Amino acid sequence: MQTIGAEYLGDGQCSFTVWAPEKQKMTLQLVHPEERIVEMKQDKWGCFQVTVQDVFPGTRYFFIPDEEEKGYPDPASHYQPEGVHGPSEVMDHSTFEWHDQNWRNIAFQDMVLYEAHVGTLTPESTFEAIIPLLDDLAATGINAIELMPVAQFPGNRNWGYDGVDLYAVQNSYGGPDGLKKLVDACHARGIAVFLDVVYNHVGPEGNYFSKFGPYFTDKYKTPWGEAINYDGDWSDGVRDYFTGNALHWFRHYHLDGLRLDAIHTIYDDSAVSFWELLHRRVKQLQQEMGKPLYLVAESDLNSPRVIRSPELGGMGFDAQWLDDFHHTLYVLLHPPGKKFYEDFGQPEQLAKAYTDGFVLTGEYVNFRKRTYGASSAGVPGDRFVAFLQNHDQIGNRVKGERMSQLVSFEKLKLGAAAILLAPYVPMLFMGEEYGEDAPFLYFVSHSDTDLIEAVREGRKKEFSRYKWEGEPADPQSEETFNSCKLQWQKRKKGHHKVLEQWHRQLIWLRKEHPVLKNFEKKDVQVHVLEQRGFVLQRQTADGLRHLHCLFNLSDTELSYTFSKKAADWKKILDSKEEKWLGKEEAETKPLPTYVKAEEQVKLAPLSIAVYEGKL
């Protein structure tokens, strides 16, 4: 696999390489600090290359394909200091002073992920502004941050899925050095860093890929336009570009994992699939770097093939997001959500989500008008990421409401417990741990007026199709963006502080209790209580220690009789203890500290309690 882009070789030498197999000519246009024109030579793989003297880091350049009248940014640019339409800049990654030489990553099953958007996490909207927040996150127990995409996008505000320079780090966030400083600071605090990458489409504005090569195909379609050419003519260069991108983030930015967006919209019928190629190259790099490198999928397939090894016909991902868990838990906590998740909301489905993983496993699904999914029963829980909120589930509501704006404080506690006591790797969305109530809306900052209007109309049509009521906020408005910024100071006050402490306690329990370290599904059982609650039963692999997690999701009292699995049961957590009550939450007598086998207890409305039993 050939290195593409600008590679600084030291001593004022820089190698420039660009893949353009169908072009007859390629010219390197140096524009800063001095202007020069340099002809490039093409090799048999379709790459144009030239090594130039007296070129130092900070030099800016374009490529001019064939007889074009102007130059275009490097498709593999590492930095776009003037945005998506400006020149690319030569980087020397060797000059950054890393302090994480002893960092060896965290076992995936031990992670508590925290999805964050760089632009709205702080008022400054930069990587470096996040660093002062890391100690608070570490104190809560969060040990892995998952950044939404940071590849260069148009303007200075965007979710990140409109990236067009996929090797470059967003200039308004602080560019390459800003990201490196954040990763280095995270590792110093024992926090891993994941990055969301988009390999299924490229954004519209500043998308100059077709000026260079056949990156796209009309053989397939995606919801966002042209599909990436992973299996057609000249697709070797495309596959190298995207697998090389994954390696780029691991090598130059010391990232610990990647989350791949919507893999179900990537199409490839090659004998050796893109996924097999990516898996092999990442695992080779993993050996070189001496630490695990994780690949996590967002998939709409409900197929265990996603997390099966390529040797067994799978895609080779280490884990995938578990949307079914979100959908059924969300509807149980917020019944109006049934309107949007019509196939979910039964307590038995949540039980299946805990014990099996996928809820829809071959049944007829109304939303899809067909049978859908396959069983994931038996797949270890640490191959799934479970969540109650993420950027899509919040941002694709017409008003961008978080759960804190939709349900009561008691239900926020229930939701946190349902996720953090599950046999899955949990993920929180930024601010969820303290009940942030700022919305998370969709926002962009395009410069093309026609595109801006198309985005506005597209959002309106999308919400209309999915039966949302009301008008969406203007995605182009800076006010829309600013309204989404977190109010970090709230985590220290009132019910926000209580909720953060509740999360902290649950995460501590998750990390310390041996039962919660067992991810084998055979050791997980769920019993539904009168369609109004459930008991999540987990145990150690040797069967000597048990946890019964008692959930009452209803507004009325609920009875539960303890099993004979232990002679005595000791309470280790109770949401109705005084220290966990919100300002509007009525005081209720907590459950007894000790309970005998076959003894009955009364579960308070909207409560969660955890009891431990030992054999």
The pLDDT of residue 467 is: 64
Task: Judge whether 414 lies within some domain.
Answer: yes
Q: Which two tokens stand for residue 481?
A: 């963006």
Q: For residues 467 and 327, state if they share a domain.
A: yes
Query: Any idea what the CATH number is for the domain that residue 181 is in?
Result: 3.20.20.80
Q: For residues 55 and 122, state if they share a domain.
A: no
CA distance 475 to 490: 26
Task: Judge whether 256 lies within some domain.
Answer: yes
Low-confidence ranges of the chain (pLDDT < 70): 465-467
The pLDDT of residue 465 is: 66
Compute CA distances 301 → 9, 323, 349, 378, 418, whole Å.
Answer: 44, 10, 18, 18, 24
User: 235-253 and 175-188 are packed helices; what angle lies between their axes, rounded to 10 degrees?
Assistant: 50
Q: For residues 131 and 271, state if they share a domain.
A: yes
Query: Any idea what the CATH number is for the domain that residue 545 is in?
Result: 2.60.40.1180
CA distance 496 to 115: 19
Q: Which residue's entry shows tokens 């988009």?
A: 198
Q: One-letter amino acid identity for 459?
A: R
Q: For residues 503 and 585, state if they share a domain.
A: no
Give catalytic status of residue 568 as yes or no: no
Q: For residues 356 and 430, state if they share a domain.
A: yes
Q: What phi, psi does 482 have (nearest 5°)?
A: -65, -30
Indicate yes or no: pTM above 0.85: yes
Query: Any idea what the CATH number is for the domain that residue 24 is in?
Result: 2.60.40.10
| CA 224 to mean position of chain CA atoms | 19
Mark which of 459, 486, 507 sits at the end of a domain: 507
CA distance 411 to 332: 10
Q: Which two tokens stand for residue 283?
A: 């695992």
Q: What phi, psi does 293 have (nearest 5°)?
A: -120, 120
Cis geometry, peptide bond prior to residue 310 (ω within 30 degrees of 0): no
DSSP β-bridge partners for residue 114 = 145, 428
The pLDDT of residue 460 is: 84
- Active-site entry in 231, 256, 261, 432: 261
Q: What angle do CA 48, 54, 55 make, to 5 degrees?
A: 55
Helices and strands (DSSP H and E) totals, the chain: 13, 30
Task: Judge whether 284 lies within some domain.
Answer: yes
Closest CA to 611 of 575, 577, 578, 571: 571
* CB neighbour burial string for 480-511, b if at least 16 within 10 angstroms, e if fewer: bbebbbbebebbeeebbebbbbbbebbbebbe
Q: For residues 503 and 483, state if they share a domain.
A: yes
Per the CB < 8 A criterion, the answer to whether 153 and 162 are in contact is yes
End-to-end CA distance of the chain: 57
> Can you give the residue range of the structural domain that contains 589?
516-614
- Active-site entry in 298, 392, 410, 500: 298
Task: Judge whether 103 lies within some domain.
Answer: no
Per the CB < 8 A criterion, the answer to whether 18 and 27 are in contact is no
Q: How many residues does the chain have?
A: 615
Per the CB < 8 A criterion, the answer to whether 150 and 464 are in contact is no
Mark which of 459, 489, 507 sits at the end of a domain: 507
Per the CB < 8 A criterion, the answer to whether 409 and 582 are in contact is yes
Q: What phi, psi does 288 have (nearest 5°)?
A: -65, -40
Task: Judge whether 100 lies within some domain.
Answer: no
Q: Which two tokens stand for residue 93?
A: 């990654």
Give catalytic status of residue 261 as yes or no: yes
Query: 295: exposed, middle or buried (C-beta count within 10 Å: 0-12, 13-18, 19+)?
Result: buried
Q: Where are the alpha helices (DSSP H) in 15-117?
A: none
Q: What phi, psi does 262 have (nearest 5°)?
A: 40, 65
Per the CB < 8 A criterion, the answer to whether 389 and 434 are in contact is no
Q: For residues 503 and 550, state if they share a domain.
A: no
| Total domains, the chain | 3
Q: For residues 326 and 466, state if they share a domain.
A: yes
Count Cβ atoms below 10 Å from residue 431 Cβ, excluding itself: 25
Count Cβ atoms below 10 Å from residue 167 Cβ, excluding itself: 25
Query: 600: exposed, middle or buried (C-beta count within 10 Å: 0-12, 13-18, 19+)?
Result: exposed
Q: For residues 172 and 59, state if they share a domain.
A: no
**What is the helix (H) or strand (E) element at residue 512, kind and residue range?**
helix 494-512
38 in helix, strand or coil? strand
The pLDDT of residue 3 is: 87
**Model confidence pLDDT, tens digit, residues 225-282:** 899 999 999 999 999 999 999 999 999 999 999 999 999 999 999 999 999 999 999 9
Q: For residues 91 and 142, state if they share a domain.
A: no
Q: Which residues contact 212 (CB under 8 A, 6 or more apart)?
A: 18, 19, 20, 23, 63, 65, 72, 75
The pLDDT of residue 462 is: 78
Q: For residues 57 and 185, state if they share a domain.
A: no
DSSP β-bridge partners for residue 61 = 30, 88
Mark which of 60, 95, 130 sits at the end of a domain: 95
Strand locations in 266-420 (E): 294-297, 319-321, 363-365, 370-372, 384-387
The pLDDT of residue 466 is: 64
Q: Which residue's entry shows tokens 């280790």?
A: 572
15 in helix, strand or coil? strand
Given the DSSP bridges, would you call strands 545-552 and 533-539 parallel, antiparallel or unpaired? antiparallel
Q: For residues 603 and 536, state if they share a domain.
A: yes
